[in-house]
Amino acid sequence: MRILIPMFEIQDYGGITGHTEYLIKGLQEHGHKVDFVLLRNNDQNPYVRKQDGPAHSYASATGGSVHLLAGWYGVLVMSYGTLHRATQFVEMAKGYDFIIWGLPCPYDNSGCWMELYKSGVPQVACIHDAHYPKAYKHLDMVVDYLHFLAPVNESAYGALATWPGEKRLINNGHKLLDWKDLPPWDIRQQQAVCAHVWKAWKRMDRVVAAAPHMRGHLVMGGDGIEGRYMRSLAKCPPKFIGLWDTFLAYGGQYMGVMTEAELFALYEDSSVMIDISYNARFASYGCHYNRSIVEALNHGCLPLMCEESMAGSVIFDRNTYVGVSKDASPEKLAEAIDAAINFEGAEDVIAAGREVLTRSFDYRYTCLLYLA
């Protein structure tokens, strides 16, 4: 089957890159021909984006390269800002057997975006966060063109309660490791890793603030608008003043944006992964887990998660992670991180989590659910 994956251009893709990469990889390994196209809301001739991305880009399943924040390079770029450009895309898309939209629709509903769905080719769309209906209500306008929507977590699924079309929860795909080859938990460094996109609901500032109160070592990675403001001499908001300098003074380590391989190597050398992401609206729809919990369990880290984000999950039992309250003070968060680093039952928690991974997150299985 010839499959097309269109992706709308956004700022800071984050986990969408990993999801898309393993979706493409899985489909390719099942013998499908997969092409990728980046869509921009402008008016220009189609072209191929330069091959090399910023520092810490890595080889992409598309044949180009990919960067955690900036997305894909060495890929076809097409426009949809005018009817003429949208029609060019539609004519190209007619040559495919199936379309999987990497994002369901543009966040900004200007331009001729609705025309893009009128190829007549069977198509489905991924949705990564609980943005419907607040930000994606205009998605209703193309419901008749989509076979179904595929939310990738429970929160995104719950937010689609009023979606007039079909929806199917399809978990993020991951390449599961041969776990017996990984370093045992009890010989790893007593350090915690917190590496995500630095945006408000990821609450990275709270982890930075906890560092001076920790006994164990803290490694942070990733980047984004909040991180750039926090480190800025000229534009640091009052709420962040002094946080970064104190983090560094107390021995906190910052790795910046890493390739997938660099991040995974760091996980395999560490005992704990921290993800205290919390968004009240997302949580109101159900458990909002990110790729990070799967990556942590896969590479042998004990996940320390926000209890309120994980509450009520039908995927992750309470024995597959350790939790901390969203309201924890810097001192209490530091205490929870140190307790996780020294947690006697860590190997049992990781083993329970890996049973979930085996059932629900293998990319060779999840990718086929889009075609069912």
Nearest of 105, 23, 113, 3 to residue 66 by alpha carbon: 23
| In a domain? residue 371 | no
pLDDT score recorded for residue 179: 97
Q: What is the CATH number of the domain that holds 65?
A: 3.40.50.2000
Residue 110 or 357, more confident: 357
* In a shared domain, residues 39 and 142: yes
Look at residue 111 in the predicted model and tell me its pLDDT.
Answer: 85
pLDDT at 92: 98
Task: Let me know whether 164 and 15 are in one domain.
Answer: yes
Asked whether residue 119 carries a pLDDT value surpassing 90, the answer given is yes
147, 166 contact by CB (below 8 A)? yes
DSSP line for 96-138: -SEEEESSSS-SS--SSGGGGGTT-S-EEEEE-SS-TTTTTGG
Of 140, 170, 200, the residue at which a domain comes to its end is 170
Kindly state whether residue 364 falls inside one of the protein's structural domains: no
Confidence of residue 240 (pLDDT cuts 50, 70, 90): very high
**Number of folded domains in the chain?**
2
- pLDDT level of residue 108 (50, 70, 90 thresholds): confident
Q: What is the pLDDT of residues 297-326, one digit of tens each?
A: 999 999 999 999 999 999 999 999 999 999
pLDDT of 286 reads: 96
User: Would residue 365 count as lying in a domain?
Assistant: no
The pLDDT value recorded for residue 6 is 98
Last residue of a domain, one of 103, 135, 170: 170
Q: What is the mean pLDDT of residues 162-172?
A: 97
Phi, psi of 91 (to 5 degrees): -65, -40
Is residue 353 one of the residues assigned to a domain?
yes
The total of other beta-carbon atoms located within 10 Å of residue 85's CB is 23
In a domain, 370, yes or no: no
Confidence label for 372 from pLDDT (cuts 50, 70 and 90) = confident
Region 14-27: what's the mean pLDDT?
97
pLDDT, tens digit (0-9, with 9 covering 90-100), for 190-225: 999 999 999 999 999 999 999 999 999 999 999 999
Q: What is the pLDDT of residue 231?
A: 96
Q: Over the range 147-172, which residues count as b (16 or more CB within 10 Å of their CB) and which as e?
A: ebbbbbbbbbbbbbeebebebebbbb
- Please state the pTM of the whole predicted model: 0.92
The answer to whether residue 311 sits within a structural domain is: yes
pLDDT in tens, 51-105: 999 999 999 999 999 999 999 999 999 999 999 999 999 999 999 999 999 999 9
My answer on whether 184 and 259 are in the same domain is yes
Checking if the pLDDT of 155 tops 90, the result is yes
Q: What is the mean predicted confidence (pLDDT) over 28-43?
A: 98
Q: Given pLDDT bands bounded at 50, 70 and 90, which one contains residue 110?
A: confident
Q: Do 145 and 232 lie in a common domain?
A: no
Per-residue pLDDT at 229 exceeds 90? yes
pLDDT category of residue 235 using cuts at 50, 70 and 90: very high
Q: pLDDT, tens digit, for every residue of 319-370?
A: 999 999 999 999 999 999 999 999 999 999 999 999 999 999 999 999 999 9
Mean pLDDT (the chain, rounded): 96
Q: What is the CA radius of gyration of the chain?
A: 21
> Tokens for 269?
């050398």
Whether residue 163 is found in the same domain as residue 183:
no
Coil, strand or helix: which one is 363? helix
Q: Structural domain of residue 219, as residue ranges? A: 179-359
Q: Look at residue 369 and tell me if it is in a domain.
A: no
243-276: per-residue pLDDT in tens? 999 999 999 999 999 999 999 999 999 999 999 9
Tell whether 219 and 152 lie within a shared domain: no
Residue 133: cis peptide before it, omega within 30 degrees of 0: yes
Is residue 273 within 8 Å of 267, Cβ to Cβ? yes
pLDDT score, position 248: 95
**Are 210 and 97 members of one domain?**
no
